[in-house]
Structure 1
Amino acid sequence: MQKFITLGEGYGDLFELEALVAHNQTRIDKAIFLHTEEKLSTFLLVMQPVRGNFQAIYAIYNGIRYNAGGGRKYMMIREWCETADIPVVEFSTRDPEDFYERGQFYQYITGVLRLNHLIPPL
């Protein structure tokens, strides 16, 4: 079972993410940037499954400005991942605003990640 855990709002999300990367390097599986056309990107930090089938996926939901590889938050996160030897995957997805609720977006992303073999099936 994969569980999305949305990190804080504003700059709180960045501080939480930095602490996760610094103190849980052995548990981190991969980092994923989900880009949309000319809008904010979403970032996912996928952890290794624990206790059988539970897998935490930490998210900065629709909060990263990505300008053709630029953007301060984007660059900081990339640097943290590279320093910690965390593999980074990037691809384009539907806009989160296409969905009525955040949970629906996370269900859609779960399907996309499973189809691309980025997270294990149930």
Structure 2
Amino acid sequence: MQKFITLGEGHGDLFELEALIGNNHGRISKGIFLHTAEGMSTFLLVMSPVRGNFQAIYTIYRGILYKDGAGKKYKMIDEWCRKHDIPVIEFSTRDPEDFHEREQFYQYITGVLRLNHLIPPLN
């Protein structure tokens, strides 16, 4: 079972993410940037499963400006992951604004991640 945990708003999300990466890099499976054609990007920090099949996925939801490889938050997060040898994956997805609720977007992303073998299948 995967659980999306949205980090804080504003700069608090960055401080929390930096602490998660620095203190838990051994438990982190990968980092994933989800880019959209027009909107802000989302970042997912995928943790390794614990206690059976529970897997936390920390998110910065639509909080990263990304334009042709540029953006201060984008560069900071990418640098933190690379510093700790955390694989970083990037791809384009539908805009979260296409969905009526955030939970619907997370369900869509869960399917995309499973189809691409980036998270384990449902048991």
Normalized against structure 1, the TM-score is what? 0.99
Calculate the aligned-residue CA RMSD, in Å.
0.4
Aligned position for 1:114: 114
Percent identity between the two aligned chains: 78
Aligned residues: 122
Find the residue that maps to 2:67 and give its secondary structure.
coil
How many angstroms does 1:9 deviate by? Answer: 0.2
How many angstroms does 1:38 deviate by? Answer: 2.6
Find the residue that maps to 1:43 and give its secondary structure.
strand
Deviations 1:54-75 (A, max 9, x none): 0000000000000100000000
How many angstroms does 1:39 deviate by? Answer: 1.5
Aligned position for 2:77: 77
Aligned position for 1:10: 10
> 5+ unaligned residues in a row in structure 2: which ranges?
none
Please state if 1:57 is matched with 2:57. yes
Cα distance in 2, alignment partners of residues 83 and 31 from structure 1: 12
How many angstroms does 1:99 deviate by? Answer: 0.2
> 5+ unaligned residues in a row in structure 1: which ranges?
none
Cα distance in 2, alignment partners of residues 19 and 101 from structure 1: 28
Cα distance in 2, alignment partners of residues 3 and 36 from structure 1: 22
Cα distance in 1, alignment partners of residues 72 and 17 from structure 2: 15
Cα distance in 2, alignment partners of residues 80 and 25 from structure 1: 10
Structure 1 consecutive aligned stretches of length 4 or more whose deviation exceeds 3 Å: none
Normalized against structure 2, the TM-score is what? 0.98
- Amino acid in the other structure paired with 1:98: D
- Amino acid in the other structure paired with 2:106: Y
Find the residue that maps to 1:121 and give its secondary structure.
coil
Aligned position for 2:29: 29
